[in-house]
Amino acid sequence: MSNKWVYMFEEGDMTMRNLLGGKGANLAEMTKIGLPVPQGFTVTTEACTQYYEDGRKINDEIMEQVMQGVAKMEEINGKKFGDKENPLLVSVRSGARASMPGMMDTILNLGLNDEVVATMIAGNDDPAFERFVYDSYRRFIQMFSDVVMEVGKKYFEQLIDKMKEEKGVQFDIELTAADLKELASQFKAEYKKQLGEDFPSDPVEQLKLAIEAVFRSWDNPRANVYRRDNDIPYSWGTAVNVMPMVFGNLNNQSGTGVAFTRDPATGENKLMGEFLINAQGEDVVAGVRTPMPIAQMEQEFPEAYAQFLEVCETLENHYHDMQDMEFTVENKKLYMLQCRNGKRTAQAALKIACDLVDEGHKTPAEAVAMIDPRNLDTLLHPQFDAKALKAATPMGKGLGASPGAACGKVVFTAEDAEKWNEMGEKVILVRLETSPEDITGMKAAQGILTVRGGMTSHAAVVARGMGTCCVSGCGDIVMDEENKKFTLAGKEFHEGDYISIDGSTGNIYDGIIETVDAQIAGEFGRIMAWADEFRKLKVRTNADTPADAKKARELGAEGIGLCRTEHMFFEEDRIAAFREMICSDTVEEREAALEKILPYQQGDFEALYEALEGCPVTIRFLDPPLHEFVPTEEADIEKLAKAQNKSVEEIKAIISSLHEFNPMMGHRGLRLAVTYPEIAKMQTKAVIRAAINVSKAHPDWNVAPEIMIPLACDAKELKYVKDIVVATADAEIAAAGVDMKYEVGTMIEIPRAALTAGDIAKEAEFFCFGTNDLTQMTFGFSRDDAGKFLNAYYDKKIFESDPFARLDTTGVGQLMEMAVKNGKATRPSLHCGICGEHGGDPTSVEFCHKIGLDYVSCSPFRVPIARLAAAQAA
**In the complex, which residues of this chain contact ligand ADP (CB under 6 A)?**
38, 91, 93, 102, 106, 108, 243-246, 256, 281-282, 326, 328, 337-338
Report which of 317, 354, 314 is spatially closest to residue 31, judged by C-alpha positions.
314
β partners of residue 447 = 428, 469
Contacts of 349 (CB under 8 A, 6+ apart): 267, 370, 371, 372, 375
If the CB atoms of residues 17 and 620 are measured against ligand ADP, the closer one turns out to be 17
Q: Least distance to ligand ADP from the beta carbon of 89, Å?
A: 8
Alpha carbon separation from 832 to 135, 541, 619, 844, 849 (Å, rounded): 66, 14, 15, 15, 11
Site for Mg ion in 37-96 (CB under 5 A): none
Residue 316 interacts with Mg ion (CB under 5 A): yes or no = no
Residue nearest ligand ADP by beta-carbon distance: 281
Contacts of 858 (CB under 8 A, 6+ apart): 539, 540, 541, 542, 561, 835, 837, 839, 840, 865, 866
Q: Least distance to ligand ADP from the beta carbon of 459, Å?
A: 37
Q: Least distance to ligand ADP from the beta carbon of 68, Å?
A: 20
Alpha-carbon span 278 to 300, nearest angstrom: 12
If the CB atoms of residues 95 and 839 are measured against ligand ADP, the closer one turns out to be 95
Q: Least distance to ligand ADP from the beta carbon of 255, Å?
A: 10
If the CB atoms of residues 29 and 610 are measured against ligand ADP, the closer one turns out to be 29
Q: Which does 102 bind (CB under 5 to 8 A by kind): Mg ion, ligand ADP, none?
A: ligand ADP
Q: Which does 91 bind (CB under 5 to 8 A by kind): Mg ion, ligand ADP, none?
A: ligand ADP
Helix (H, G, I), strand (E, B) or coil at 343: coil
**Per-residue H/E/C for 768-782:** EECHHHHHHHHHCCC
Q: Report the relative pairing of strands 405-411 and 427-431 from DSSP bridges.
A: parallel
If the CB atoms of residues 38 and 342 are measured against ligand ADP, the closer one turns out to be 38
| 8 Å CB contact between 318 and 289 | no
If the CB atoms of residues 326 and 802 are measured against Mg ion, the closer one turns out to be 326
Alpha carbon separation from 634 to 20, 204, 546, 640 (Å, rounded): 67, 77, 33, 10
Backbone φ and ψ for 485, nearest 5 degrees, come out as -155, 160
Q: Least distance to ligand ADP from the beta carbon of 504, Å?
A: 23
Q: Which does 65 bind (CB under 5 to 8 A by kind): ligand ADP, Mg ion, none?
A: none
680: enclosing H helix or E strand: helix 677-697
- Provide the Cα torsion 277, 278, 279, 281; round to 10°: 70
Site for Mg ion in 724-763 (CB under 5 A): 749
Alpha-carbon span 53 to 94, nearest angstrom: 19
Contacts of 125 (CB under 8 A, 6+ apart): none
| 8 Å CB contact between 535 and 874 | yes
Helices (H) and strands (E) in the chain, counts: 35, 33
Q: Which does 773 bind (CB under 5 to 8 A by kind): Mg ion, ligand ADP, none?
A: Mg ion
Q: Least distance to Mg ion from the beta carbon of 92, Å?
A: 13
Give the DSSP letter of residue 74. H
Helix (H, G, I), strand (E, B) or coil at 273: strand
Q: Could you tell me which stretch among 120-128, 172-180, 331-339, 477-485 binds Mg ion (CB under 5 A)?
A: 331-339
Q: Which does 749 bind (CB under 5 to 8 A by kind): ligand ADP, Mg ion, none?
A: Mg ion
**Per-residue H/E/C for 106-163:** EEEEECCCHHHHHHHHHCCCCHHHHHHHHHHHHHHHHHHHHHHCCCCHHHHHHHHHHH
Candidates 458, 627, 831, 849; catalytic one = 458
If the CB atoms of residues 92 and 711 are measured against ligand ADP, the closer one turns out to be 92
Has 835 been annotated as catalytic? yes
Q: Could you tell me which stretch among 80-88, 407-415, 545-553, 765-773 binds Mg ion (CB under 5 A)?
A: 765-773
Residue 130 interacts with Mg ion (CB under 5 A): yes or no = no
Q: Which does 567 bind (CB under 5 to 8 A by kind): Mg ion, ligand ADP, none?
A: none
Report which of 160, 112, 166, 168 is spatially closest to residue 136, judged by C-alpha positions.
112
Q: Least distance to Mg ion from the beta carbon of 770, Å?
A: 4
Site for Mg ion in 332-361 (CB under 5 A): 338
Q: Least distance to ligand ADP from the beta carbon of 101, Å?
A: 6
Q: Least distance to ligand ADP from the beta carbon of 244, Å?
A: 6
If the CB atoms of residues 326 and 808 are measured against Mg ion, the closer one turns out to be 326
Residue 770 interacts with Mg ion (CB under 5 A): yes or no = yes
Q: Least distance to Mg ion from the beta carbon of 748, Å?
A: 10
If the CB atoms of residues 281 and 556 are measured against ligand ADP, the closer one turns out to be 281
Give the DSSP letter of residue 393. -
If the CB atoms of residues 156 and 412 are measured against ligand ADP, the closer one turns out to be 156
If the CB atoms of residues 82 and 813 are measured against Mg ion, the closer one turns out to be 813
Candidates 312, 713, 768, 835; catalytic one = 835
Alpha-carbon span 32 to 25, nearest angstrom: 10
Q: Which does 316 bind (CB under 5 to 8 A by kind): ligand ADP, Mg ion, none?
A: none
Q: Which does 246 bind (CB under 5 to 8 A by kind): ligand ADP, Mg ion, none?
A: ligand ADP
Size of the site for Mg ion (CB under 5 A): 5
Has 832 been annotated as catalytic? no
Q: Which does 651 bind (CB under 5 to 8 A by kind): Mg ion, ligand ADP, none?
A: none
| 8 Å CB contact between 50 and 59 | yes
Q: Which does 106 bind (CB under 5 to 8 A by kind): Mg ion, ligand ADP, none?
A: ligand ADP
β partners of residue 148 = none
Report which of 301, 572, 598, 573 is spatially closest to residue 437, judged by C-alpha positions.
572
Q: Which of 330, 732, 773, 784 binds Mg ion (CB under 5 A)?
A: 773
Alpha-carbon span 816 to 839, nearest angstrom: 13
Task: Cite the active site residues.
Answer: 458, 835
What does the binding site for Mg ion look like in residue numbers (CB under 5 A)? 326, 338, 749, 770, 773
